[in-house]
């Protein structure tokens, strides 16, 4: 059997059913790996050892008795430390909230428990899901398992690093401007931002009310579908939650790409924001693979990337200022320098700026919706550059903005990040697929077809 720490959630369930593995054995193996590797990765803020082992023992008893709680029974998961777990601190990786003990589980945590998942602990992030990898915070920044001198993306940095290093088989991330798909790109994993409102945000500290998403981070597309099945659903206590029926999101994973119409948004990375040549070649290869698998790939045009990104950025800055204004006035020195600089920009936007941005947003949603008249799924760049060193502030500042993720926070369409290559220096490259609103089934079908045909997801970092 594959080493336990590299098993997918689907493989874990099969191994339990065949009695080739037990939840206690798996959790202990992961705890041992975390103990050995995390001192150099800093993926975890807190490992909840005793609670995880207790949950594993309970799961094992149920398996022996022939009972199962749900599709994630006995499967461990890491939680970004911006999501409330009752009785544990939700620090948001910040000095501001060091003593913030959650009174109740977030909605997604309740759903995970109901599905049988085992919570391993809280994962690191960029402070308050913004800023960047910072060294002036109570916890060190997470590092990239492919090269620990490099950054792992963000803001769900610990989630990406933990998955890529084999510390967890599943993780939750949040995504306001690309914070699931950025670490997915940089760490070579799968990251899914669902349709806006599909997953409840109740119990998750907000960054921008109209842009925030919660979603799966995994090592394969099948696990992303499995995890989305567990966490999706309407929540009347979240005003952004959408009352839609949630189907089995992995229903079409085996259908392949034949007959799919793929709209390749080339201008994002060819003219709007020219990508690193290795990124551009990898995207062309994704197009080639999907064509070979029977998809029809055609070039399509969306509004300019800089315009989409600018509108998203203004809305995010204005909304995040509304959330943080009081603390920024009273405790500015308790933020990391990078976080403080980003959040302060929102103070200079007027109400008119915000209203005009929201008006432009409606036009851009319509433009993306219109593109799906001629396509079932869109193919776009994710990051325009591979990861750089974690201590290279100038390159970090330049490359973090060079991406094509934030447009789909603005429009709310579901988007998934997939590994699609390695640079000459051995760092992951990633593509992004985008689906119609509330059509995660087709999006995941296309992603799974590419994954099977390319096998990039089987590559592991040299850690």
DSSP designation for 406: T
Domain harbouring 261, CATH code:
3.90.1300.10
For 132, 173, 179, 198, 392, the CA distances from 201, given in Å and listed in that order, are 22, 11, 15, 9, 33
- In the predicted model, is pLDDT for residue 247 greater than 80? no
Average pLDDT over residues 306-313: 98
Structural domain contains residue 6: no
- In the predicted model, is pLDDT for residue 414 greater than 60? yes
Which pLDDT score, from 0 to 100, does residue 245 have?
80
What is the count of structural domains for the chain?
Answer: 1
Structural domain contains residue 310: yes
Domain that residue 294 falls in: 12-458
Task: Spot the catalytic one: 22, 157, 159, 179.
Answer: 179
Structural domain contains residue 214: yes
Structural domain contains residue 16: yes
Average pLDDT over residues 246-269: 96
Residue 155 annotated in active site: yes
Residue 66 CB-density burial (10 A; 0-12 exposed, 13-18 middle, 19+ buried): exposed
Residue 350 annotated in active site: no
Task: Spot the catalytic one: 22, 80, 122, 193.
Answer: 80
Which pLDDT score, from 0 to 100, does residue 244 have?
85
Residue-wise pLDDT tens digits, 83-119: 999 999 999 999 999 999 999 999 999 999 999 999 9
Q: Is the pTM of this model over 0.95?
A: yes
pLDDT band at 214 (very low <50, low <70, confident <90, very high): very high
The percent of residues above 70 in pLDDT, for the chain, comes to 100
Task: List the alpha helices (DSSP H) in 18-68.
Answer: 23-41, 49-64
Residue 300 token pair: 């399509």
Average pLDDT over residues 154-167: 98
Chain mean pLDDT for the chain: 97
Average pLDDT over residues 67-84: 96
pLDDT band at 463 (very low <50, low <70, confident <90, very high): confident
SS3 of 430-461: the string is: EEEEEECCCCHHHHHHHHHHHHHHHCHHHCCC
Residue 157 annotated in active site: no
Structural domain contains residue 463: no
Lowest mean pLDDT, pick from 27-31, 246-250, 395-399: 246-250
pLDDT band at 11 (very low <50, low <70, confident <90, very high): very high
Task: Spot the catalytic one: 124, 155, 309, 430.
Answer: 155
Three-state DSSP state, 291: helix
pLDDT band at 234 (very low <50, low <70, confident <90, very high): very high
Structural domain contains residue 5: no
- In the predicted model, is pLDDT for residue 295 greater than 60? yes
Task: Please state, in angstroms and rounded to a whole number, the distance separating the CA atoms of residues 347 and 330.
Answer: 15
pLDDT band at 2 (very low <50, low <70, confident <90, very high): low
H/E segment holding residue 329: helix 305-330
- In the predicted model, is pLDDT for residue 1 greater than 90? no
């Amino acid at each position: 059997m594959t080493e336990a720490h590299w098993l997918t959630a689907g493989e874990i369930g099969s191994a339990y059913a065949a009695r080739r593995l037990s939840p206690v054995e798996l959790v202990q193996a992961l705890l041992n790996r975390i103990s050995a590797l995390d001192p150099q990765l800093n993926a975890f803020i807190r490992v909840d050892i005793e609670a995880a082992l207790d949950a594993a023992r309970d799961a094992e008893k149920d398996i022996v008795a022939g009972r199962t709680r749900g599709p994630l029974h006995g499967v461990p998961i890491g939680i970004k430390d911006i999501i409330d777990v009752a009785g544990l601190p939700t620090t948001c990786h910040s000095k501001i909230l060091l003593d913030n003990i959650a009174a109740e589980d977030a909605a997604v945590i309740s759903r995970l428990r109901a599905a049988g998942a085992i919570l391993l602990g809280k994962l690191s992030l960029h402070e308050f899901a913004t800023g960047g990898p910072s060294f002036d915070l109570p916890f060190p920044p997470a590092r990239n398992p492919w090269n620990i001198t490099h950054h792992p993306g963000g803001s769900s940095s610990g989630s990406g690093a933990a998955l890529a290093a084999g510390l967890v088989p599943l993780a939750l991330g949040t995504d306001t401007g690309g914070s699931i798909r950025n670490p997915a790109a940089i760490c070579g994993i799968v990251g899914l931002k669902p349709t806006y409102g599909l997953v409840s945000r109740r119990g998750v500290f907000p960054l921008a009310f109209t842009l925030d998403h919660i979603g799966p981070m995994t090592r394969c597309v099948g696990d992303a579908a499995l995890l989305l099945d567990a966490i999706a659903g309407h929540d009347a206590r979240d005003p952004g939650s959408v009352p839609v029926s949630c189907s089995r999101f992995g229903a079409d994973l085996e259908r392949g790409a034949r007959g799919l119409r793929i709209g390749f948004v080339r201008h994002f990375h060819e003219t709007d924001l020219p990508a690193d040549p290795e990124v551009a070649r990898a995207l062309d290869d994704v197009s080639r693979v999907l064509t070979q698998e029977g998809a029809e790939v055609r070039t399509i045009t969306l509004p300019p990337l800089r315009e989409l990104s600018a509108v998203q950025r203004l809305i995010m800055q204005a909304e995040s200022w509304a959330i943080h204004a009081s603390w920024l006035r009273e405790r500015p020195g308790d933020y990391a320098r990078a976080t403080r600089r980003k959040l302060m920009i929102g103070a200079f936007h007027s109400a008119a700026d915000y209203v005009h941005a929201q008006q432009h947003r409606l036009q851009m949603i319509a433009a993306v919706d219109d593109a799906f008249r001629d396509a079932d799924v869109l193919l776009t760049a994710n990051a325009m550059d591979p990861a750089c060193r974690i201590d290279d502030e100038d390159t970090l500042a330049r490359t973090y903005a060079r991406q094509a993720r934030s447009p789909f926070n603005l429009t709310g369409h579901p988007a998934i990040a997939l590994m699609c290559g390695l640079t000459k220096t051995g760092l992951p490259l990633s593509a992004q697929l985008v689906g119609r609103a509330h059509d995660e089934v087709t999006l995941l079908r296309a992603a799974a077809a590419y994954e099977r045909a390319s096998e990039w997801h089987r590559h592991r970092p040299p850690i």
